[in-house]
Amino acid sequence: MHTDRKTLKPLKIGELTVEKPIIQGGMGVGVSRSNLAGAVAAEGGIGIISTAQIGYDEEGFEKDQAGCNRIAIRKHIHRAKEIAEGKGLVGVNIMVALKHYKEHVQEAVRAGADVIISGAGLPMDLPKLVGNNKTKIAPIVSSRRATQLILKMWAHRYNRTADFIVIEGPKAGGHLGFSRDQLENLETLDYDHEIREIIACKAPYEEKYGTKIPVIVAGGIFDRADIDHMTELGADGVQIASRFVATEECDASDAYKNAYINAKKKDIQIIQSPVGMPGRALRNEFIKELEIARKPITKCYNCLEKCEPRSVPYCITKALIDAVRGDVENGLVFCGENVDRIQKMTTVHELMQELCYGIVPDCGILHTAHVQS
């Protein structure tokens, strides 16, 4: 059998092209920063840095979160690009729910981010904040309705459209654009149909602006078979996050990575986040204690635009920082639906080889069932 190792088509976003149509999803706090994003870009993919409290380990963070985050955004974008050595693309994920959303976008553009992906809310003002700079922008959407609304408003307000679209399905980790009931009854959702509906939304805007709007699908993408399935649905690429946690290059602590490797299906739980959205995380002592009583907030880290410290169940900044530093029992560990399938540590290079070509490092065998002859 002849094996074509280039069966995955390159991803084109405007005038930019990456060899591998794989985006490493942004993970905060501190899980995907320059080390991981740079390594993914160096492999010919798109590495994404999460800006959520990205400066948590900068000197002075306890007093000036906003200033430290701006410094860290610039530092990690530059460092990731150095690691990438001109290959792939380096971008950022910026949550609309952040108190300093505008400043994060502007800092990322100034630092030379190739792309900005924005969700956890509707990024209605993103085109205005980016302006005429060359940074490409994409909304994260989970429904046809949200997609139509964003594309319509961007066209009406700013006479432009999305450079690409990220569809985040119900099996993703972190904050999710679905109801708790939907997330707890995944078998009743026909999300393939929704993906096709969302993809259909872009056609009038592609025609109006004379451009192609690539669509990236995220949420539960685990292997080459999943990538092929999304391609068959009409996707131009995929976004994968959880699998990149168990890599040597991931910016999280070893304890955090091991929490993924040791996770079982029964450990995965849907929780409510102070962001106002449900999220998927690993059940631990932190979550068990929350089921009994809220965790009083003694310090506000000024992370969310809409957060009332006196009433929210816990401080999401503290919970995420504790986890990424290694206290995985007393912190919040977000994860995707398929985290239980992650069995071992790997490297970004090995993972990209597996995802693109079906090569499993242990035996070097090419899983030809996933590769077209």
DSSP type of residue 9 = P
Residue 92 lies in a domain: yes
pLDDT digits (tens, 9 = 90+) for 53-85: 999 999 999 999 999 999 999 999 999 999 999
Residue 264 and residue 245 share a domain: no
Is 218 in contact with 172 (CB distance < 8 Å)? yes
pLDDT digits (tens, 9 = 90+) for 283-326: 999 999 999 999 989 899 999 988 888 889 999 999 999 999 99
Residues near 123 by Cβ (< 8 Å), separated by ≥ 6? 96, 137, 139, 150
pLDDT digits (tens, 9 = 90+) for 79-133: 999 999 999 999 999 999 999 999 999 999 999 999 999 999 999 999 999 999 9
| Residue for token pair 């995985």 | 328
Residue 354 and residue 274 share a domain: no
Residue 331 lies in a domain: no
Element (H, E) at 147: helix 144-158
Q: What is the residue range of 298's domain?
A: 255-325
> What is the count of structural domains for the chain?
2
Residue 57 and residue 173 share a domain: yes
Residue 259 and residue 140 share a domain: no
Report the chain's mean pLDDT, rounded to a whole number.
Answer: 93
The overall longest dimension of the chain from CA atoms, in Å, is: 64
Please tell me the distance from the alpha carbon of residue 241 to that of residue 239, in angstroms, as a whole number.
Answer: 7
Average pLDDT over residues 185-195: 92
pLDDT at 2: 37
Residue 149 and residue 34 share a domain: yes
Residue 270 and residue 142 share a domain: no
Angle 191-201/224-233 helices, nearest 10 degrees? 50
CATH number at residue 233: 3.20.20.70
Confidence at 368, pLDDT banded by 50, 70, 90: very low
Average pLDDT over residues 13-34: 98
Residue 134 and residue 84 share a domain: yes
